[in-house]
Amino acid sequence: MLARLLSEYSRAGGPGVRAAAAALTALLICLAAGQPVIAWLRARKLGEKTEKTPIDDPALRARIAAKSGTPTMGGVLILGALVVSCALWADLAETGVLVALGTALALAVLGAVDDLQKLHGTGRGLSSLRKLSWQILIGLGAGLALAGHVRGTAAAGALLSPPWALLGRAAVPALAVWGAVFVAGMSNATNVTDGMDGLLSGLAALASTALAAGCLIAHRAGMAQAAEPAVFCAAMAGACAGFLCHNRHPARVFMGDTGALAIGGGLAAAAVAARLEALLLVVGAVFVIELTSSGLQIASIRLLHRRVLPIAPVHHVFQRRGAAEPRIVLGFHLCGLAAALAGLGLLWF
């Protein structure tokens, strides 16, 4: 009876009301289910093995050694809250939210396989090439699924999304390629960012909130396709905020690749569906900077045989200089807040 009433209300309520309800629902689920999920992960011996963390600096490795054994794969809590919240408040018959949710779940499965190989295998999880290949395939699928959904729609601004309608028949393959690049890029960006207690969960909550607000503003401006992605992003924001309560320093649980890959890929698919890709790049500027620092470091080592940074990604630079982890995370969260506020200004141009 309650499920039927909620379903009817979710269809009748405006996207703003449903987005707020989705955020609150996901938040409460993560708060309530956090401790049982942590206990479940601990009972199955799914604890972080810091010796397999790909950090070469001996001083940093000594610091993170204290975190060994902390339950990981906590992304299942984020995904569970996201799925339940979207099922209650989003219109799952709408392509945009369905693809965003499917993309997040597919990447969560990929991340879970990687996490399990790290925990129970002999190596450091899936190889970078294999993981990237799957990310690209998932992104291709998302782009193809969204091709008919977005190519004939209007964007909120000329600089916020590629002009798909001008490409004619070439729009479908172009969208597939764009989906692959955008989903793979953002999922890698959030994965790279997940390196300190509360860092990614806090930044993701801020970016998701800003993207949800941007979707609602775009919907009021006449972009009908942005309504359901707003509900998805709001649910993601609530789930990440709730997870942050368990993940803040000292963390009682890590999200692992299970959560880190899903967050970036899900938000990327939602942004493509709402035609607000540039907005995500701005509100998620910290993710972009983190990924860029790692990419430049890898390219410099392989091509020039020297480092452009003492260590990558960039949050480890501050850690290597001796800054306390909570202070670094707070600084990055403030940068994320500034990026979120700046990104919303894009919708005025």
pLDDT in tens, 275-293: 999 999 999 999 999 999 9
The pLDDT of residue 158 is: 44
Helix axis angle, 227-247 relative to 15-43, nearest 10°? 40
For the segment 9-13, the average pLDDT, to the nearest whole number, is 56
Q: Rg (Cα) of the chain, in Å, rounded? A: 19
What is the structure's pLDDT at 3? 46
CA contacts within 13 A on the Cβ side of 100: 38
pLDDT band of 38, cuts 50, 70, 90 = very high
pLDDT, averaged across the chain: 90
Q: Does the pLDDT value for residue 55 go beyond 90?
A: no
* pLDDT greater at residue 166 or residue 105: 105
pLDDT of residue 68: 86
Judge whether residue 78 has pLDDT over 60: yes
17-29 tens-digit pLDDT: 999 999 999 999 9
Q: pLDDT at position 64, please? A: 77
Per-residue CA distances from 78 to 30, 74, 81 (Å): 7, 7, 5
| pLDDT of 168 higher than 80 | no
At 6, the pLDDT band (50, 70, 90 cuts) reads low
- Provide the pLDDT for residue 139: 98
Q: What band does 221 get if pLDDT is binned at 50, 70 and 90?
A: confident
165: pLDDT confidence band, cut at 50, 70 and 90? low
Are 110 and 135 in contact, with CB atoms under 8 Å apart? yes
Q: How confident is the model at residue 268 (pLDDT cuts 50, 70, 90)?
A: very high
Q: Encoding tokens for residue 265?
A: 């890929």
pLDDT classification of 155: cutoffs 50, 70, 90: low
Quick one: tokens of 14?
Answer: 């405006």
Q: State the pLDDT at residue 222.
A: 87
Cα of first residue to Cα of last residue in the chain, in angstroms, is 46
pLDDT band at 2 (very low <50, low <70, confident <90, very high): very low
CA distance 349 to 338: 18
Checking if the pLDDT of 93 tops 80, the result is yes
For the segment 31-57, the average pLDDT, to the nearest whole number, is 87
Rounded CA-CA distance 16/343 in Å is 19
pTM: 0.94
Quick one: residue 27, left, alpha or beta (phi over 0 = left, psi -120 to 50 = alpha)?
alpha
The pLDDT value given to residue 170: 81
Residue type, 70: T
